Amino acid sequence: MMQALVDGLTEPRDQVIIIGDTKSPADFDLPGARFLGVEAQHATGLSSALHCPTRHYARKNVGYLLAIRDGAPLIQETDDDNLPIDGFFAPATRTITAPIVRQAGWINVYRYFADGAIWPRGLPLDQIHGALPDFETLSVETLDCPIQQGLANGNPDVDAIFRLVSPRDVTFRPDRRVALGPGGWCPFNSQNTLWFPDAFPLLYLPAHCSFRMTDIWRSFVAQRIAWENGWSLLFHHATVWQDRNPHNLMRDFEDEIPGYMNNERIAAALGDLPLAAGPGAMADNLIRCYQALIDLGVVGEAETPLLKCWLTDLGL
């Protein structure tokens, strides 16, 4: 699957960055890709590389920082169990004309792309069947979308409850995209997400929290800060097929319980924060948001110095 990522590169400056961990093979080599084991990450001089816990998904932060330092015009994040399909390598634009949901509260976006009961990981369980405006009634507008979530066919990013009660492959409809306006909450993940430079600081994955919530809680922070900047969050058709690595579903369920029990509280706390617009406010906004999660007790206090490493590495 990673070979397919390399094979799809079309521009000389394009690169695939693979971030290893302590359990990664020391001699891993994929021609055309840039692999960094833990020692190589330490040698980058990034504070985040030295202080981020090992054996943790948040070490992807090091890869984001390297891409940013190399002057990446955009970052497409994915994982090693995702196969790119039609549209993954298509040219991307930040300005998008798309239907937009201008409704506050929780929005189960997956229901616009698939029939039946399906929901993204991180959506509060009592919001799975929440009322949605009909797709055909949505206003089509030209929007600023520096964060764009692509869906995943096959074994998409759903929670353990869905996988336990409905173990089936999923194919999302390929002919739609939909954006969320300010006040609309929907979790997005790190499986197939495109980021433009103004939003790069929001890539930060917290390390001192539930493994199954790190990218979900990041998504809530990113959405909240996006509202201040007049950005919309775009969801579009699947451009990867996920052949999911082996997971213990009951362990996943256990790791997702902090989300089931706290995501409503998190959205309320973030929504009440006084934030500011513009790139100059980005660092303070991130600190305020993660302090709110620490105050709620869902993220550990050790997150603060790690977030400061991230901001230092970004020069913020």
Question: What is the rounded CA–CA span in Å between residue 303 and residue 281?
Answer: 20
In this predicted model, what pLDDT tens digit does every residue of 132-144 receive, in sequence order? Answer: 999 999 999 999 9
Are the CB atoms for 131 and 103 separated by under 8 Å?
Answer: no
**What pLDDT sits at residue 12?**
63
Res 294: pLDDT: 98
The span from the CA of 299 to the CA of 208, in Å, is 6
pLDDT of 152 above 80 = yes
Structural domain boundaries of the chain?
2-314
Rounded-to-integer distance, Cα 176 and Cα 147, Å: 17
Rounded-to-integer distance, Cα 206 and Cα 303, Å: 7
**Percentage of the chain lying above the pLDDT 70 cut:** 98
Comparing 76 with 245, which gets the higher pLDDT? 76
Average pLDDT over residues 157-182: 94
Q: Please choose, from the candidates 33, 29, 36, the residue with its C-alpha nearest in 3D space to the C-alpha of residue 8.
A: 33
Looking at residue 80, its pLDDT comes to 82
Q: What is the pLDDT of residue 10?
A: 67
Alpha-carbon distances, residue 142 vs 64, 113, 146 (angstroms):
28, 21, 13
Q: For the residues 120-140, what does the mean pLDDT come to?
A: 96
Give the pLDDT confidence of 196-253 residue by residue, as tens digits. 999 999 999 999 999 999 999 999 999 999 999 999 999 999 999 988 888 899 999 9
Three-state DSSP string of 217-236: HHHHHHHHHHHHCCCCEEEE
Residues with Cβ < 8 Å from 247, sequence gap 6 or more?
A: none
DSSP percent split of the chain into helix, strand, coil, nearest 5: 40, 20, 40
Q: Give the H/E segment covering residue 180.
A: strand 177-180
DSSP tag of 272: T
Which of 153-157, 219-223, 290-294 has the lowest average pLDDT? 153-157
DSSP string, 132-170: ---GGGSEEEEEE-SEEEEEEEES-S--HHHHHH----B
The CA distance from 166 to 275, in Å, is 40
Contact between 15 and 30 (Cβ < 8 Å): no
Q: Are 39 and 71 in contact (CB under 8 A)?
A: no
What rounded mean pLDDT belongs to the chain?
Answer: 94
Q: What predicted TM-score, i.e. pTM, was given to this entire model?
A: 0.96
- Structure-token match 């074994």, residue found: 155
